[in-house]
Amino acid sequence: MNIKTVLLKLVTAIIDLFVLFFVFTLTMGTITSIEEGSIFGLQILTASSLFLGCLVILDISYYLFRIFLLIDQRTFFSKIALHAVKMIRYLFIAEFVILLGIMPFVYYTADHGDAPGLIIIVGAVVFLPLAIATFVYTMEQILDNSIKMKDENDLTI
């Protein structure tokens, strides 16, 4: 087993465990609200957005594990890795769009709870995947240029 990516795999697995725990907690809370009859439309939209967001995070983890495997095999500078990085970028953009679904509930909660700062804080969290997607796009361009240089050097030798 290669030691290079063990820590990265461990951190990704721990994040996945937290996401699964969040899904479990969200499921239990949603079931309890449905049984009590205290759920309304914005809560359903928010819970659905959070469930879909968790699925996207697990998909991102899958592609990260594929990248870690390529790093272990010393084949990171390949089209397969470039495809995985592109998919991660697309998934982060999808995460941003999905998380926009929680904003109506946040607005409702901030309006009724007299907490306007809540909208700014949650808005920052919602826009975080978009910032990460921008960073991943930059890394994608660097990887693409590296692959082109590698292919050019392989043809030279």
Neighbours of 24 (CB within 10 A): 10
Q: Tell me: pLDDT of 115 over 80.
A: yes
Q: Tell me: pLDDT of 1 over 60.
A: no
Q: How confident is the model at residue 157 (pLDDT cuts 50, 70, 90)?
A: low
How big is the chain by its Cα radius of gyration, in Å? 20
Least confident of 35-44, 54-63, 115-124, 126-135: 35-44
Q: Stretch 107-132: mean pLDDT, rounded?
A: 91
Q: Tell me: pLDDT of 42 over 90.
A: no
The helix, strand and coil proportions of the chain, stated in percent and rounded to the nearest 5, come to: 90, 0, 10
**pLDDT higher for 42 or 143?**
143
Whether the CA torsion 48, 51, 57, 63 is positive or negative: it is negative
Q: Taking the complete model, does pTM exceed 0.75, yes or no?
A: yes
Q: What SS3 string covers 81-135? A: HHHHHHHHHHHHHHHHHHHHHHHHHHHHHHHHHCCCHHHHHHHHHHHHHHHHHHH
120: Cβ–Cβ under 8 A, 6 or more apart, which residues? none
Q: Tell me: pLDDT of 107 over 80.
A: yes
Q: Stretch 109-124: mean pLDDT, rounded?
A: 89
Diameter of the chain by CA atoms?
71
CB 77 within 8 A of CB 147: yes
pLDDT at 111: 87
Provide, rounded to the nearest whole percent, the portion of the chain with pLDDT above 90: 75
- What residues does each domain of the chain span? 3-153
Provide, rounded to the nearest whole percent, the portion of the chain with pLDDT above 70: 97
